[in-house]
Amino acid sequence: MMNKKLLTLLLVAGIAVIFVATGLYAGTDVPETITMNFNKYKKRRKAPPKYKFIEFSHKKHNVEYKVNCGECHHDKDHKPLELKAGDHVQKCVECHTKLTKNKKKKKDIKVLENAMHTNCVGCHKEVNKKAGDPKGRKGPAPTSCAKCHKKA
């Protein structure tokens, strides 16, 4: 009888430890910035590279600008993901697997660069339109190449 209670107690304690450890891992904070270091690009292998990797201000977009996770992160059917801090999120390059551009297929979102530009520039243009520029090119959100792609 005593062994059964002890075994049950140990089992419950073990399960509790697993849940606590999982909660601690899942509760990790998102980084302040994310370096868009997709070094699989052939052009990035040139020495020295022409441009620095983009430093994306993830926390600023999420906290200061109040951009919901699902506005950038989506599932395979392009439906917004419902995420909370600490959830596992696949890297863009895991789904947007084509790394070289095909000039004839600028809209192919399997190409990582096209997906990033469509998402980022598209959102930035919408912000600028709301700020008063009908074309969305000028305003608080950068839309020109040089604003994000800094020379090395």
Write out pLDDT tens, residues 85-140: 778 888 888 888 887 766 677 788 888 888 888 999 999 999 999 999 999 999 99
Structural domains of the chain sorted by starting position, each given as residue range(s) with its CATH number in brackets: 30-148 (3.90.10)
Q: Are 42 and 49 in contact (CB under 8 A)?
A: no
* Dist CA 45 CA 122 (whole Å): 28
Which pLDDT belongs to residue 36? Answer: 83
Of residues 37 and 135, the one with the higher pLDDT is 135
At 138 the three-state DSSP class reads coil
Rounded to 5°, the CA angle 12-15-17 comes to: 110
Q: Using 50, 70 and 90 to split pLDDT, how confident is the model at 24?
A: very low
Q: Using 50, 70 and 90 to split pLDDT, how confident is the model at 20?
A: low
Strand partners, 35: 55
pLDDT per position as a tens digit, 45-95: 666 777 888 889 988 998 889 998 889 999 889 899 988 877 888 888 888
**Long-range own/partner contacts, residues 15-20 (CB < 8 A, 24 or more apart):** none
Which pLDDT belongs to residue 23? Answer: 47
Sign of CA dihedral 17, 18, 21, 24: negative
Which pLDDT belongs to residue 25? Answer: 44
